[in-house]
C-alpha cells in the first residue's frame, strides 16, 4: 500500500545485517511469486507466518454487520495470501522480542511503524512480543527492513517454529533469582532461530527462562520447554545449570510441564534443546494439529522414554562451538545504571504517587535502585507514548526496557530518588496508572477484536472489568487487590485463563433462536510458583453478567476467608458445587424482547454471532520441509531469470544451477535425516535414491529431467553466455517441476515413503 515500499531496501541496505537483509529479499520475492500465481497459497501462508505475518478476523472477505453477513469487496479480488485469506485484507504482524528486551532506538522504530503501517496502537502480548494490527501484506517487507536495521527479526514469530523465547523481566536485578538468565535466554533464542533442526515441527514450540522457582514472572510450567536457574556445588565449585521442564502448555487441555532433569549444566543447555528439537521434529504428530504440541509426545512416550530418546539424540549430535560460545560473554548483557543509587527522601507525596509506588515499584537487589512497571491498559500503547517512554528511559535509566508477560513494560535501574519525577513524566503521557500486577491489571488475548478464532470479546470484557475495578480500587479490600484476572476469547487460552485466580474464556449459547455470548468461569488457578496449578471450570455465564460474577466471588472471599487463606484454598474449601450454586441465578438470560443487551457483546453493538469465526492460523498449515525446499528452489530460478533480464548471464546461470541442487536436496529429505550442503554429495545421493531407483522418472520423459541436473553439475564451473544461461534456467524450471511431481507421487503412494526418518 505505501508508496515508499520500493525504497526502504536501498535506504537501509548498509544498516541491516546481511543475512537478515537477504531473508527479507527472499520474502519479498515470494510475495511477488504469489501475486503472479507461481507460489502455492498454502506454502505462501506458512512462509508469511514464519515471518510473523498473521491473518486477522474477516480476512476471508466476510463480516457480519449486525444485520447480515456482508461481503468485503477487496480490490485484489481472487488473490489470496493463504487458504481462504484475501490478499488485501488487513493482517497482524507479530514482532518477536527475545526476553522482552528492547533498546530505546528499537522502541523509536516501533513507534514509527505503529503509526505508518498499523492503526496507531502497538500491543504487548502475553509472551513479551509486540503485535501490530490492520497491516497490509504489501507493507510487511518494508516494516521488516526497518526492524532489521535496528536488529529485530520477525522470523519464526508465528508458524510451526520456536516462538519468542521469554524470560523474567527482572532478570539481573531480582533479589530472588539464582542468577541472571538473560544471556542464556538470548543465546537460546539465537541458536534455535532458523536452525535446521527446528524447521520441521508439527506445531509451535515455546520456551521460557526463569531466575527462580517460586515467582511467576516467566511461567515456565506452561511452556514446551521451561528452564529455571539452578546451581550445584561440585568439587567445591559452584556450577550453573537449569532445572529443565518439558511438555507444558495451555490450550484447550492444559498440561503442566514435567521435570526433565533437575540439573542440566549450562554448557549442556543448547545441545539438549537441539536434541529435543530433533526428536520433536521426528516423532511429533504432524497431521492432527490438535495433538501436535510436544506435550502430547511427552505424554504418549512417558518422561522416562522421552528422556532416553533425547539423551540418545544428544550423544549423536556433531559438536557445535555455538553451544558454549555465549558462556564467555555472560557479562555482555549486564546493564549499567545512568544515575547513582539513592533513596527516596521522606517528603510528602500525593496519594496518586503513593499508590503508584505501592503497586508499580519494586526494589532491586542492588540497593538504591528500583524497577518501575509501566501499566499498559490491555497491553496497548500509542506511538506517541512509545516515544515518550523512550525519552523517559533515556532520561532516567540509560537505554533499555523490557516487556512483561502481563502486557506491561518495566524500566530497571531507576535511582530511587528519581521516582517522583519519573511518575510525573509517565503521568504526562498517560502512563502513570497504578495497579500493576493487581486485580485491576486484567490480561486479555485479542479475542473477537482481531482473532479469527475468537468466540467472545475478551478485550471488551477485560476493558469493562478494568474500568469498574479501577473506579473501586481505592476501597478494594487488600485480600483481593493481588488477585489476577485473565480473559481468553476462546478455549485456546492465549489469555492464560487457566493460571488466573479468576479466569474466563469465551463460549456461546443458543437461546430462543439467538446466539448469546458467554464466558466460562475458571476459578482457582495459580499464578505464583511459575504457574503452579490450573483452575477449574465452574460453568458458563452470559458475558454481560461477568462483572457481577467477579463482584460476587470477591465479596464472598473477603467475607468468609479464614486466617491467611489464599483464594485458591478458599475456592477449594467451599467447593465447586457451592460456587455453582452461588452463580446459578447469573446464568439466566432474559428474553430478547425484555433485554436485548445480552445479545450483543461488550464494546460491540452488533447483534452477536459466531458466524465471523474463521479458520485459525495459530500454527499455520503443516508444510513439509520438502515443500519449503521446492518453493525456495522455485524462487531461486525466478531470481535467475531476473538476473538474466538485468544482463548478468554468469550469475543467472549459476543461480539456476543452485536452484536445481536445492530442489534435489529438498527431495532427499524424504530419504535421509542428515542432509548435506555439499553439491557433490547431493548429486550422488540423488542419483542413488532417485535416479537409479527410477523414482524420479517422469511417466513419459523418463530420466530426462534428472539428466539436466547431472549435466549442470558437471559443468558447474563453466562460464555462461546469455544463451547457455537461458538454457540452464529452462532446464532448472523443468527439473523443479519434475521434483514437485515426484514428491506428489510419493506423497499419494499407498506404500509409505521410506520410514527411515
Partner 1 sequence: MDIQHLNVKFFVEHPEVVDLDPFLTIFNRWIQEQVCDDLLIDVADYRHVVAGPGVVLIGHQANYSLDNTDNRSGFLYNRKARLDGSVQDRLRQAVRSALLACRRLEEDPLLQGALRFSGQEVRVLINDRLIAPNTEAMLLALQPELHAFFDGLYGGAEYTISHPSDPRERFTVHVQASAPFDITTLLDAVNIP
The answer to the question of residue 607 lying near partner 1 (CB under 8 A) is: no
Cβ closer to ligand SF4: 445 or 500?
445
The sign one gets for the Cα dihedral 551, 554, 557, 558 is: negative
Among 224, 261, 449, 501, binds partner 1 (CB under 8 A): 449
The answer to the question of residue 556 lying near partner 1 (CB under 8 A) is: no
Residue 275 touches which of ligand SF4, partner 1, none (Cβ within 5-8 Å per kind): none
Helix (H, G, I), strand (E, B) or coil at 86: strand
Helix (H, G, I), strand (E, B) or coil at 23: helix
Determine the Cα angle at 38 with ends 716 and 83, to 5°: 135
Cβ closer to ligand SF4: 84 or 481?
84
The answer to the question of residue 616 lying near partner 1 (CB under 8 A) is: no
Residue 532 touches which of partner 1, ligand SF4, none (Cβ within 5-8 Å per kind): none
Determine the Cα angle at 55 with ends 381 and 520, to 5°: 75
As measured in angstroms, the least distance from the Cβ of 209 to partner 1 is 31
Sheet holding 514-523, edge to edge: 443-444, 485-488, 502-511, 514-523, 536-542
As measured in angstroms, the least distance from the Cβ of 496 to ligand SF4 is 9
Cα-based torsion angle of the residue sequence 568, 572, 577, 578 in order, rounded to the nearest 10 degrees: -80
Among 96, 155, 387, 635, binds partner 1 (CB under 8 A): 387
Question: Contact region for partner 1 (CB under 8 A) — 382-390, 413-421, 648-656, 666-674?
Answer: 382-390
Cβ closer to ligand SF4: 488 or 530?
488
As measured in angstroms, the least distance from the Cβ of 177 to partner 1 is 33
Pairing of strands 502-511, 409-415: unpaired
As measured in angstroms, the least distance from the Cβ of 495 to ligand SF4 is 6
DSSP H or E segment with residue 53: strand 53-54
The answer to whether 57 and 89 have CB atoms below 8 angstroms apart is no
Cβ closer to partner 1: 385 or 609?
385
The answer to the question of residue 7 lying near partner 1 (CB under 8 A) is: yes
CA-based end-to-end distance of the chain: 44
The answer to whether 223 and 207 have CB atoms below 8 angstroms apart is yes
The answer to the question of residue 592 lying near partner 1 (CB under 8 A) is: no
Residue 494 touches which of ligand SF4, partner 1, none (Cβ within 5-8 Å per kind): ligand SF4
The answer to the question of residue 394 lying near partner 1 (CB under 8 A) is: no
Residue 611 touches which of partner 1, ligand SF4, none (Cβ within 5-8 Å per kind): none
What radius of gyration, in Å, describes the C-alpha atoms of the chain? 27
Sheet holding 380-382, edge to edge: 53-54, 91-95, 130-135, 121-124, 380-382
Question: Contact region for partner 1 (CB under 8 A) — 16-24, 69-77, 586-594, 711-719?
Answer: 69-77
As measured in angstroms, the least distance from the Cβ of 489 to partner 1 is 14
Question: DSSP states of 549-602 as a string?
Answer: HHHHHHHHHHHH--TT--HHHHHHHH-HHHHHHHHGGGG----TTT-GGGGEET
Return d(Cα 92, Cα 113) in angstroms, integer.
13
As measured in angstroms, the least distance from the Cβ of 489 to ligand SF4 is 3
| Total residues in contact with partner 1, by rule CB under 8 A | 53
The Cα diameter of the chain in Å comes to 90
Residue 706 touches which of partner 1, ligand SF4, none (Cβ within 5-8 Å per kind): none
- Kindly give, in sequence order, each residue whose CB lies less than 8 Å from that of residue 209, ignoring residues fewer than 6 positions away: 99, 165, 166, 167, 168, 171, 181, 184, 185, 188, 218, 220, 226, 227, 228, 229, 242
The answer to the question of residue 483 lying near partner 1 (CB under 8 A) is: no
Cβ closer to partner 1: 57 or 689?
57
Residue 445 touches which of ligand SF4, partner 1, none (Cβ within 5-8 Å per kind): ligand SF4
Please report, as ranges, the residues that interact with ligand SF4 according to CB under 6 A: 445-447, 451, 453-454, 458, 488-490, 492-495
State residue 64 phi and psi, 5-degree precision: -80, 125
Q: Return the bridge partners of 62, or none.
A: 71
As measured in angstroms, the least distance from the Cβ of 376 to partner 1 is 9
Cβ closer to ligand SF4: 143 or 455?
455
Residue 490 touches which of ligand SF4, partner 1, none (Cβ within 5-8 Å per kind): ligand SF4
Among 34, 51, 57, 195, binds partner 1 (CB under 8 A): 57
Cβ closer to ligand SF4: 222 or 683?
222
Q: Please tell me what DSSP assigns to residue 623.
A: -
Question: Which has the closest alpha carbon to 153: 119, 118, 190, 184?
Answer: 190
Return d(Cα 237, Cα 234) in angstroms, integer.
5
As measured in angstroms, the least distance from the Cβ of 491 to ligand SF4 is 7
Cβ closer to partner 1: 115 or 730?
115
Cβ burial of 41 (10 Å; 0-12, 13-18, 19+) is middle
The answer to the question of residue 472 lying near partner 1 (CB under 8 A) is: no
Q: Give the rounded distance of the alpha carbon of 590 from its chain centre.
A: 40
As measured in angstroms, the least distance from the Cβ of 105 to partner 1 is 11
Residues that bind partner 1 (CB under 8 A): 1-4, 7-8, 11, 57-58, 63, 65-67, 70, 72-75, 88-90, 108, 111-112, 115-116, 119-121, 133-134, 136, 377-378, 380-382, 384-385, 387, 429-431, 449, 459-460, 463, 466-467, 603-606
Amino acid at each position: 500500500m505505501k508508496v515508499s515500499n520500493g525504497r526502504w531496501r536501498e535506504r537501509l541496505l548498509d544498516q541491516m545485517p546481511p543475512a537478515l537483509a537477504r531473508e527479507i529479499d527472499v520474502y519479498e520475492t515470494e510475495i511477488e511469486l504469489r501475486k503472479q500465481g507461481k507460489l502455492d497459497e498454502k506454502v505462501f501462508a506458512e512462509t508469511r507466518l514464519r515471518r510473523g505475518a498473521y491473518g486477522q478476523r474477516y480476512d476471508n472477505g466476510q463480516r457480519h454487520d449486525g444485520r447480515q453477513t456482508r461481503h468485503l469487496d477487496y480490490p485484489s479480488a481472487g488473490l489470496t495470501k493463504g487458504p481462504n485469506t484475501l490478499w488485501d485484507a488487513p493482517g497482524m504482524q507479530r514482532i518477536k522480542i527475545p526476553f522482552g528486551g528492547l533498546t530505546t532506538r528499537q522502541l523509536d522504530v516501533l513507534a514509527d511503524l505503529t503509526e505508518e503501517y498499523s492503526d496507531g496502537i502497538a500491543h504487548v502480548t502475553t509472551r513479551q512480543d509486540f503485535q501490530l494490527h490492520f497491516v497490509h501484506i504489501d507493507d510487511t517487507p518494508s516494516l521488516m527492513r526497518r526492524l532489521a536495521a535496528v536488529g529485530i527479526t520477525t522470523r519464526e514469530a508465528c508458524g510451526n517454529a520456536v516462538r519468542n523465547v521469554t524470560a523474567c523481566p527482572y532478570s539481573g536485578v531480582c533479589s530472588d533469582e539464582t542468577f541472571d538468565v538473560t544471556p542464556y535466554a538470548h543465546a537460546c533464542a539465537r541458536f534455535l532461530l532458523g536452525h535446521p533442526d527446528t524447521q520441521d515441527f508439527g506445531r509451535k514450540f515455546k520456551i521460557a527462562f526463569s531466575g527462580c522457582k517460586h515467582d511467576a514472572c516467566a511461567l515456565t510450567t506452561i511452556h514446551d520447554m521451561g528452564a529455571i536457574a539452578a546451581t550445584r556445588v561440585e568439587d567445591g565449585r559452584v556450577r550453573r545449570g537449569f532445572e529443565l521442564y518439558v511438555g507444558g502448555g495451555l490450550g484447550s487441555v492444559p498440561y503442566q510441564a514435567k521435570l526433565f532433569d533437575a540439573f542440566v549444566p549450562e554448557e549442556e543447555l543448547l545441545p539438549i534443546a537441539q536434541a529435543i528439537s530433533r526428536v520433536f521434529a521426528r516423532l511429533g504428530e504432524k497431521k492432527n494439529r490438535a495433538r501436535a504440541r510436544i506435550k502430547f509426545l511427552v505424554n504418549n512416550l512417558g518422561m522416562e522414554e522421552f528422556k532416553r530418546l533425547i539423551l540418545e539424540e544428544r550423544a549423536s549430535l556433531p559438536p557445535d562451538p555455538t553451544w558454549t560460545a555465549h558462556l564467555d560473554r555472560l557479562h555482555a548483557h549486564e546493564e549499567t545504571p545512568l544515575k547513582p543509587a539513592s533513596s527516596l527522601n521522606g517528603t510528602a507525596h500525593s496519594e496518586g504517587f503513593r499508590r503508584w509506588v505501592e503497586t508499580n515499584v519494586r526494589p532491586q537487589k542492588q540497593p538504591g535502585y528500583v524497577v518501575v512497571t509501566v501499566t499498559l491498559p490491555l497491553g496497548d500503547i500509542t506511538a506517541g507514548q512509545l516515544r515518550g517512554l523512550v525519552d523517559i528511559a533515556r532520561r532516567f535509566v540509560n537505554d533499555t526496557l523490557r516487556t512483561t508477560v502481563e502486557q506491561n513494560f518495566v524500566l530497571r535501574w531507576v535511582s530511587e530518588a528519581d521516582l517522583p519525577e519519573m511518575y510525573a513524566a509517565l503521568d504526562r503521557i498517560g502512563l502513570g496508572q497504578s495497579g500493576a500486577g493487581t486485580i485491576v491489571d486484567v490480561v486479555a488475548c485479542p479475542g473477537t477484536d482481531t482473532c479469527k478464532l475468537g468466540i467472545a470479546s475478551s478485550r471488551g470484557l477485560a476493558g469493562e472489568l478494568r474500568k469498574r475495578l479501577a473506579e473501586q480500587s481505592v476501597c478494594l479490600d487488600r485480600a483481593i487487590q493481588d488477585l489476577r484476572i485473565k480473559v481468553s476469547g476462546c478455549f485456546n487460552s492465549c489469555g492464560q485463563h487457566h493460571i488466573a485466580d479468576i479466569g474466563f474464556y469465551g463460549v456461546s449459547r443458543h437461546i430462543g433462536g439467538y446466539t448469546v455470548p458467554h464466558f466460562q468461569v475458571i476459578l482457582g488457578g495459580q499464578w505464583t510458583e511459575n504457574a503452579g496449578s490450573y483452575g477449574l471450570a465452574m460453568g458458563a455465564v452470559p458475558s454481560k453478567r461477568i462483572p457481577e460474577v467477579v463482584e460476587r466471588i470477591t465479596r464472598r472471599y473477603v467475607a468468609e476467608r479464614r486466617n491467611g487463606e489464599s483464594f485458591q484454598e478458599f475456592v477449594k474449601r467451599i467447593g465447586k458445587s457451592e460456587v455453582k450454586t452461588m452463580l446459578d441465578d447469573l446464568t439466566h438470560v432474559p428474553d430478547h424482547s425484555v433485554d436485548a443487551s445480552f445479545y450483543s457483546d461488550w464494546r460491540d453493538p452488533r447483534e452477536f454471532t459466531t458466524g465471523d469465526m474463521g479458520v485459525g492460523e495459530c500454527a499455520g498449515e503443516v508444510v513439509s520441509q520438502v515443500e519449503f525446499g521446492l518453493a525456495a528452489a522455485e524462487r531461486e530460478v525466478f531470481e535467475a531469470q531476473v538476473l538474466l533480464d538485468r544482463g548478468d548471464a554468469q550469475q543467472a546461470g549459476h543461480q539456476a544451477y543452485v536452484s536445481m541442487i536445492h530442489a534435489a536436496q529438498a527431495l532427499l529429505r524424504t530419504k535421509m535425516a542428515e542432509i548435506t550442503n555439499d553439491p557433490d554429495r547431493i548429486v550422488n545421493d540423488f542419483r542413488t535414491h532417485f535416479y537409479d531407483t527410477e523414482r524420479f522418472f517422469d511417466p513419459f520423459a523418463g530420466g530426462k529431467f534428472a539428466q539436466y541436473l547431472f549435466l549442470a553439475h558437471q559443468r558447474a564451473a563453466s562460464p555462461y553466455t546469455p544463451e547457455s544461461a537461458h538454457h540452464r534456467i529452462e532446464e532448472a524450471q523443468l527439473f523443479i517441476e519434475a521434483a514437485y511431481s515426484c514428491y506428489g507421487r510419493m506423497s499419494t503412494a499407498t506404500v509409505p515413503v521410506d520410514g527411515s526418518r
